[in-house]
Each structure stands twice: as structure tokens, then as C-alpha cells.
Chain A
Amino acid sequence: MSVVKKKKRVSKKNKKAWGKYSDIRDVEEFLEDQRLEERLGKFETKPDSELFVVDTGGDKAPEKKEGEDVKPLSRKLQKRAKLKEVPKCFEVLLPTSKVQDPNAKRNKVNPIGSKPTALSKLTRQRQAKKGALEKKLVEAKKNRKMAIDKKRKEKKVRQNFNLDLWGGDSPEVKGIPATLVDEFISPEAQLHNVLPTQRLRPKPPLAKTVVTRAAVETPHPGVSYNPSYKEHQELLQQVGAHEEKMMKKEAHLMRVTTGMFRRITQQEKENQWREEMSAGLPQPHNPADDPESDTDNEYKAINPPVKNKKKDHKARRKQKEQLAEKERLKREKIDKKKITDIYKLRQLRSSLRTREQKQSEERSKRAEKRAAAEATALPTLSAHKTPVKEPDFVDPKQLSGDLRNIKSTTNLLRDRFESLQRRGALAASKIMMKKKRKLKSYFKPGHKVTEKDIEKYVTRSAGKK
């Protein structure tokens, strides 16, 4: 563009203005070239082989050689081959510049996790022998110990309980993570990381049985280590009643199951079986018990045909009259009763009232009973039955009356466990004991060593000698 423009006076007061109106293209081009050279290497220094290729094939595409048939790689091998390649996603991170490292003697840093080479091991050994690494080693040991101690201490925080949970304003209580409790972290940042105090989903209320039933029931006064006679007797009565109930239940079960079936001997059973199995089979003819032998030889059907005998007119009339008479009498009786009932009204009313009263009483009683049963009912939370609370039994023989000779028969842990089940905090369960696996040992067919083999071996070894 060699059009000469009319010169115009412009200000070149500051750098920006200078740049705007002065032609610096040649300088910039030169610098651009230089940078390009730096990146890609100098054009002059490159060998010809790198720059030019001798075209021998012409326009035709290179053909495959016929003799070599290249096996396609298996999928596994393909994968393996790919392992060596740099992943596409990381290619961006690789340096593309040809600019040389300004630091000519840069320390090579092995990537983390790489194994020490044989050489590095040797140098390390040599250095250790020389005593050059001693200080480093000591320091490393110290650091390691410090790290472990720190970890251990963090673990113990759980048992220190140095936190006022129900205190109110301390950061820990508010739910600010411990890493953010520091003076240089702004309260906004701290609060940002707090979980919402009011949870999105509030905890649903607990079951009624869990809340209302006492964890530690007040003991019966008879379980005292030195009870009064009356109270102890009361307890014994309770235990006795409970035991009787259980016995009754057991007896009932026995009666209803095992006792229901009559017992027979093996012989009887066999006979029964024989009889049942041979039912319907042709029996050998026995003229003695043949019932038909006594009667005359007249044929008689088992089910003689039914005759449809019609009633005559007279009989029909009689029947009709009888029915009408019956109906009339019934009507008469009802009419009569209606008249008498008018005089009976008061009695009727009173009887109705008493009946209703009785019913309502019974109803309320039933409701009460049901409510009482519900209040103490054991929760059924699983297929297993929740254990019933058994009264603590104190054998009168074991009551010594002094603290020294107390003998406890109850297992407190079991008591707690069952109490949890009774409150509905745990589903009743049955502990499944793990069966010990029985290992069957056997010899592999070819490895079996019999007496014969041993003999053979012995004779052979003796022969060698």
C-alpha cells in the first residue's frame, strides 16, 4: 500500500498514542518470526531429510505386500498397546515448545510412586554409609512419629468429650467443621459450611412402646436381698401363678398335638397297613360268610326303581285344609298376643332397658380390657416371639439375709436385651450359631499312599543299597 496519505499532525504523547500512529509492523513481524523459530527450531539448522521427502510412488497409493499377512491384534493386545500411549486428554499438558530449558542442569524429579532404581539404591546406600543422610533419616523418623501421634490423638478425641453439646454458641455445637474453626476464617465462610440446623426431614416420632415403657422397671419389693416375709411370699405367689400358667399352656399343647393321636404298636400298624392295602382286592371265596347263600335265588336290585305315586283329589283337599287351619291358628295366636302385649308394655320396656344396660356395660368392660392388654402387649416386630417378662424368682433357700452371701440367679445383660425387645427397640431374634464346617479329608486318587506302596518303596530303597 504505497498510497501516500496526507500528513496529519497527531499526538504521540504517551505510549499508547505512539503505538497507534507509528508503523511497527516490520518489528513485530521480525519478532513473530523469531518466536516461531524458537518454537519450531531454526529453519537453516534443520537437515534436508527432515524437510523434504523423495516421492517415489507418484500419485498411486502405497500397496500392501502380498507375502506378509498381518495378523489382527487380539483385543487384549490392542488394549496393551494402548496402555503405552499418552491418553488424549493429557496431550494438552505435554510441552510442545522447542524452546530449550533455560536451566541446563535441572534436577530430575521422579514421579511419586515410582520405584527406586538399582542405581539410586546404590547411591543411597553409599550415602548412608558415608553418614550424609543421617540427619535426614532422623528427621524423617521424627516426622513419622509425629504424624502417628497426631492421628492417635485425633482418634482419642472421641473419648475426651471436651465439648458442651447443649451449650449453645460454640462453633462445634453449631456444626461448623473443625477444619474451619480458625481465627482467620471469616464467619461468613464458616456459616456457609454449616449444615442447616433444621434438617430438611425431621426425625419421625418414635413408636409409642419405645417412649412410654420404662427402661428400668421398679422392682417388686420381694426381690430385696433381705425381704420381709409378706412381700417375699407375694413374690413367690406371683412366680407360682406364672409357673402354673406356663404348665397349663404346655399341657394344653401336649393334649392338642401329641396327645391327640392314639398310640398303636408296630404290629397293629402293620396289620392296619395290610388291611388298607388289600381293600377292594378279590377275597378268596368263603361260603360261610356269604350272606346271599341263605336267601332264595330271586333277583333283587340294590336300588329298586322309584314309583311316582300321585295323590288323589281328596288327599290334596285334606292337605290344603290342614295348612289353612294351621295358618288361621297362628294368626289368631299372634292377634291375641298383640292385645296382651299392650298390657305388657312396661315390662317389655324395663327388660329392654336392662338388656341395653348390660350390653353397654359389657362393651365398656371389653374396651377396658382391650386397652389394658394393648398397654402391656408385646410388640411383634419379627417372626420370632418376643420373650415374656418372667418374675424374678428368689429361692428362699438362697436368701441369706446378708450382703456377703448374695447369690444372683438373674443375668442382667439378658434382662436388658429382653427389655429392649419388649420395648420394641429391637426385633426379637434367635441367635443363629455358626456351625463349624466339617472338612472331609481325602487323598487325590494318584497321591494315595497305601501299605503296599510303602513296602514297595522300602524294598526298592533297600535294593539300591
Chain B
Amino acid sequence: MVSKKKKKYSSGEGAQFMTRKAALKKLQLSLKDFRRICILKGIYPREPRNRKRAQKGAGGIKTLYHTKDIKFLLHEPIIWKLRELKVYQQKIRRARAMREYKTMKKYLRDHPQINIDHIVKERYPTFVDALRDLDDCLTLCFLFSTFPSLKKVPRDQSMLCRRLTVEFMHAVIAAKALRKVFVSIKGYYYQVELEGQTITWIVPHHFSFQPQSKDEVDFKIMSTFVDFYTMMLGFVNFKLYHSLNLVYPPKLTSAFSADTDKDLIDEHVYVAERIAAMNMSLSRVEGANDAEELPEMDIFNTEDEDPQKLEEAKLEAEKVKKLKTMFKGLKFFINREVPREPLVFIIRCFGGEVSWDRDHFVGATFDESDESIAYHIVDRPSMDKQYLSRYYVQPQWVFDSVNARTLLPINQYLMGAVLPPHLSPFVDKTKDQVYIPPEERALNDPDFKPLDGNESGTDIEEASDEDKDDEEEADSEEDGDAEAALAKQYQQEVEEDSDSDEDDSVDPEKKKLAKEKKKAMAVTTGVPHKEHPYQKEIEDKQAFRLREKLVRKKHRNLYKSMKAGQEKRKKEIWLLRKKRRLHDEKVKEDKKAEKRKQKVQALEASA
């Protein structure tokens, strides 16, 4: 007997895939419902290795799904709900057609809703899984929270998005989890670190609503995505609030009393508005201790003991700890023209207190006239009334300070000043072998001092004299502009003010230096063993070479190419530095020559 002939495509790639049409038939769903359930369950179309075979010999490009995925969907109880919903829709349609509006209204009122929380749990078995996938969720929720009611979007969706995003921001504030901010033309990029996961999302700028053109985006699909994401964000919020010992749904602390100014009768709305204002802390669960200090980082003896890496990690932790309390005890006032929400969010994340104009938004806690305000954030060139007790800074100062992880000196960010560029914190730090011009280095690292500035002072006395002359001349030129002079004077005053502040920070360093010098002067007992530094260097090098020899043959080529790359980059940096130095010197020379020429001319003229 000849065995039965195997049918084509009954095994292998032909059997693994299924077209969308076949899937619809198998699940007995309409395309609309199928799309919805696929998005909710996280089932996506697949790309086959061999399309011809996967499509069972059919040409063209069809949307394919894994057969296993579809079989997985087959078990979902929601499918039954969707089928029931279809019948319900038919009832509504019938009632409308029969002009039985009363029954139609009743049907609409009792419209069943599908519960999808088990799907959230199924797709994200652990909390960390959910956090890892929060990027897209947050971006879409923040985006939808700005939308008005649209045709294809459920009416309450944007309101729900707004509520959830505000709650999430509160959780970030309480956890002090914000790490990086970047203001791009697209919107605000935020990066937070929650439970060891970095989450990045985009918040659009606060414009009035821009109409979306219909033919670009399928609103229905995006709305379904948001449907799932709101569910997920809700449960994430709940979990976050619980882990932070906060009450969920959020409530304000008892210190806040609603009696002070009762413009709104509805208590719920009143509280919701105050919560959306974000400048008050939420109430905690009773019995939870407020001050939770993270313990010092433990050091484990890992297998590849790299002391440098450990040191780096420790330094990073220290920096983050400092960042968390950067604005603690500082009072900020936000002027009308500054975007309120992002700034409040950022400042509150690092422990600052914020308020704004009472007419600007609800929830202002203190007035502009409050003398204890430390920073007044303005985004306009000048102001009529200014208080001496505070600094008037531009909003970029806040963003840059967060990215630099310290309070930056404000002199570059004062009101009306031309701002330094807002650099991205998202650049790859591993690519450190690049040339950084001295200006940028000064920006990034406050301790860095450009060498040529000092050199000019010590080089030649003549030159320095000339430089001083130059400055004086510049001053006299500027005197013509009365306004500019005034502004400058003000700036100088402010700078002096800030200097006095900075003195405190500088003083300990000086003291340290003095102490060290003193120590150096003291008589110490002689040390018998004397290590030859040069000798040691040579030995180290030799040891290093020996270790290089031990690199496995498998990795040798890689190591070599790595080394070659390093050398090459080093050389490039060196070359660029040299170029810069030569250029600077040349410029200086030219300047000097010009000065000399002018002097000679002046002498000749006088003579």
C-alpha cells in the first residue's frame, strides 16, 4: 500500500501562518472586533521568513498571523463578550430604526462594558514588566489627555487619561524618581527611574488643540491602544501609590482645608482641581513613616572585581542622592508666561515649593509678594516690579540644573540674558572619546577652567595691560547705551550677590588648600622606602602587556581593533586640540599686533 500523499503546506511554514481573513473566519469575529481584541491582547501580525510558502503559494503581500497566536486568542473569554456586544448593538440599531427612542436610550445607558484587567495581568505577569513597557503608554496617555472629545474616541477617555497622568506625576513626585528632562520642539522628554527601570516619555507642548487631519492617523486604533493603556496605567498607579505609602485614589493632606476659599460647591471637583495643580503633597497611609531614607549602597564582591566601576557606581548614587533634594527648602514663583505644569512637576520632584499667580491657575499657595521666594521664573526680557530678595531666572535654568544634577550658577540664565544652548542629556555617555570644545566643557563641568584665560594673565605684562585697556574701552563703548549699562549694573549686583553665596561653597576648598599647604610645611619623619615613580610606571606597563598577551585568540582581533580605534580617536582629539590652540594663539597674536599698530598710530598722531 502506498502511504497517503502529504498535502502541500500542511506542515512547516505554510501551516505556521494564517492570513487575517482566515483568522477572522476561525474566530468568527468582524474585522473591527478582531482588531480590537488583537490590540488588547497584544497579538501582532508577523513577518514570515519565506512569504511565498507562508501564504500557501499565493502571491502579493498579505497580513499574516501566527496560527499559534490565533489559537491563543481562541481561548480568550472576551471573545464571547464581543459577540454578545454585537447582538446588543443590533438591538440598539433596531430600536433606533423603529424609532423606539426610549428603549434605545435605555440600551445605551446599560451598555455593557468589557473588563480587561485580567489581560493586563496576563500580559504583564510582574510589576516590573509593566513598568518596562510604560514608555508608549505614558506618551499616548499624555497626548490623549490634551484632546477634546473626538468622533472616534469615547467621550470619557481624554478625561480619564488626564486623571491618570496627573496621578502618575504625583507618584513620580513622591518617589523623587525624575532623572532627566529635555525640552525639544516636539515636547518635553522626561526620564524617570522607578524600581530600577528607566522610563522615558514625551509630553506635548501646551498648545491649544490642533485639529488632526483625518487621513493621517486611524483614531479608532489609537483609541483602542489608549483603552488598554489607561487600564494598565491605572493599576500601575495603584501599585506605585501603595509602595509609596500614599492613599489611592489621591487625597490631599489634612493640612489643606477646603474651607479657605470655597468657590466651588462640588467638593470632588474642588479636590480634583487642587490635585491637578500638583503643588501640594498627597496624604499618606496612616502609620507609615514619612522619612524613608534609602540605605547606603552595599558593595558585593562580584566576580569581576573592578574597583573603578564600583567607584563610578558609588559616585553616581551619590549624585542621584544629591539630585533628589536639589530644590529642597527653596521657594519658586512661576510667572504667567511660563508653562506651569512641566515646571511645577520638575521643581516638586526635587523638593521645591511652587506657586503662581492666583488668577493664572487654581491652587496657588503663596503670592508674588512673598519675601521668602528664592527664585522667580520669568520668560520675558524685563519686568516692571522686581524684588531684591529673589533671583529672576529663565525656565531653562531649571531644566539645565536637573540635567547637570546641581544648582547651576544663575548668571547665564538671568532675566533677559541670552541663554546658553539647552543640551540633550540623552547623549551616549559611552562615547566619551570625542573632542569637546572648551566652551562646552566649561558648560558641563563647572570646575573646568579654560587654560588660555589664565595664560593670558601670566604671559606678558604688557599683554595683560593691553587687555585691561581693551576692557576699559569696551566699557566706555557700552556707556553709550544707558539701558544696557543699567542692565549690566544690575547683573553685576546680582552676580555679587551670587558670589557671596558661592563664597561659602568656595571657602571650604580654599581652607582645604591652606590646610594642605600647612601640612606640607610640617616636619614629618622620613620614609625609608622610596618608590621610583618612573620605575613603577615601567613595571605597570610591562604587567599590562603581559595581561594583553593573555587575551584569548577568539577575542584578540576584537581587542586589537578596539585598541586601534581608541588610538585613532585619541589622535583626532589631540589634533583638534592642537588646531584650536594654534588658532587661539594666532587670534591673540593678531589682536596684539593690531593693538600695537593702533598705539603707534596714536603716538604718531599725538606727536
Contact = CB atoms under 8 A, between A and B. Distances in A.
Contacts of B204: 408, 412
A155 interface: yes
A256 to B, nearest CB: 22
Contact of B61 (A380, A409, A433): A380
Contact of B182 (A224, A401, A414): A224
A207 B44 CA distance: 8
B448 interface: no
Given A224-B182, A224-B421, A382 B379 contact: no
A408 B338 contact: no
Contacts of B124: 166
Interface stretch (A81-89, A157-165, A266-274, A457-465): A157-165
A191 interface: no
Interface stretch (A24-32, A42-50, A213-221, A310-318): A213-221
B61 A383 contact: yes
B69 interface: yes
Interface in A428-456: 429, 431, 433
A175 interface: yes
A239 interface: no
Interface string A43-80: 00000000000000000000000000000000000000
A382 B61 contact: yes
B391 interface: no
Contacts of B64: 381
24 contacts: A155-B113, A158-B113, A165-B120, A165-B121, A199-B122, A202-B72, A207-B46, A210-B44, A224-B422, A231-B421, A383-B62, A392-B184, A392-B185, A394-B185, A398-B185, A403-B379, A406-B185, A408-B186, A410-B185, A412-B204, A413-B212, A414-B217, A424-B44, A431-B218
Interface in B136-161: 136, 139-140, 143, 156, 160
A216 B200 contact: yes
A164 B186 contact: no
B423 interface: yes
Contact of B207 (A148, A221, A379, A408): A408
Given A416-B140, A433-B215, A408 B205 contact: yes
Contacts of B109: 148, 151
Contacts of A151: 109-110
Interface stretch (B86-94, B236-244, B500-508, B526-534): B236-244
Nearest to B217: A417
A403 B184 contact: no
Contact of B139 (A158, A215, A221): A215
B249 A166 contact: no
Interface of B: 42, 44-47, 60-64, 66, 68-69, 71-72, 75, 109-110, 113, 115, 117-118, 120-124, 126-127, 130, 133, 135-136, 139-140, 143, 156, 160, 182-187, 189, 200-202, 204-205, 207, 210, 212, 214-218, 221-222, 225, 231, 234-235, 237-239, 242, 248-249, 337-339, 379-380, 394-396, 418-419, 421-424, 426-427, 440
Q: 7 shortest A-B CB distances, which residue pairs? A: A221-B424, A228-B421, A161-B234, A215-B136, A215-B135, A218-B426, A226-B422
Contacts of B201: 216
B63 A204 contact: no
Contacts of A165: 117, 120-121, 235, 238-239
A219 B140 contact: no
A425 interface: yes
A125 B130 CA distance: 61
Nearest to A159: B160
Contacts of A429: 218
A426 interface: yes
A165 B116 CA distance: 12
A223 interface: yes
Contact of A166 (B60, B156, B182, B239): B239
Contacts of A240: none
Contact of A216 (B118, B202, B217, B218): B202
Contact of A402 (B69, B71, B189, B379): B379
A318 B127 CA distance: 96
A229 interface: yes
Given A163-B238, A221-B423, A412-B202, A403 B339 contact: yes
Contacts of B418: 401
Contact of B379 (A148, A166, A404, A412): A404
B221 A426 contact: yes
A382 B135 contact: no
A164 B185 CA distance: 38
Given A223-B184, A381-B63, A175 B118 contact: yes
A163 B238 CA distance: 7
A158 B182 CA distance: 34
A200 B75 contact: yes
A341 to B, nearest CB: 34
A203 interface: yes
A380 B143 contact: no
A164 B205 contact: no
B216 A414 contact: yes
A405 to B, nearest CB: 9
Interface in A160-219: 160-167, 173, 175, 199-204, 206-207, 209-210, 214-216, 218-219
B332 to A, nearest CB: 15
Nearest to B395: A403
A160 B160 CA distance: 10
A407 interface: yes
Interface string A383-396: 10000000010100
B234 A407 contact: no
The winner among A210, A383, A402 for most chain B CB atoms within 10 A is: A402
Contact of A225 (B45, B136, B422): B422
A166 B131 CA distance: 12
A403 B185 contact: no
Nearest to B339: A403
Contact of A219 (B63, B121, B186): B186
Contacts of A22: none
A227 interface: yes
A219 B186 CA distance: 10
Given A425-B44, A427-B45, A221 B115 contact: no
A297 B423 CA distance: 97
A76 to B, nearest CB: 25
A419 B71 CA distance: 27
Nearest to A395: B185
A411 interface: yes
Nearest to A381: B45
A380 B64 CA distance: 10
A383 B189 contact: no
Contacts of A163: 117, 235, 238
Contacts of A162: 238, 248
A402 B394 contact: yes
B216 A411 contact: yes
B185 A413 contact: no
Contacts of A148: 109
Given A224-B423, A224-B424, A164 B242 contact: yes
A379 B189 CA distance: 27
B242 A410 contact: no
A229 B421 CA distance: 8
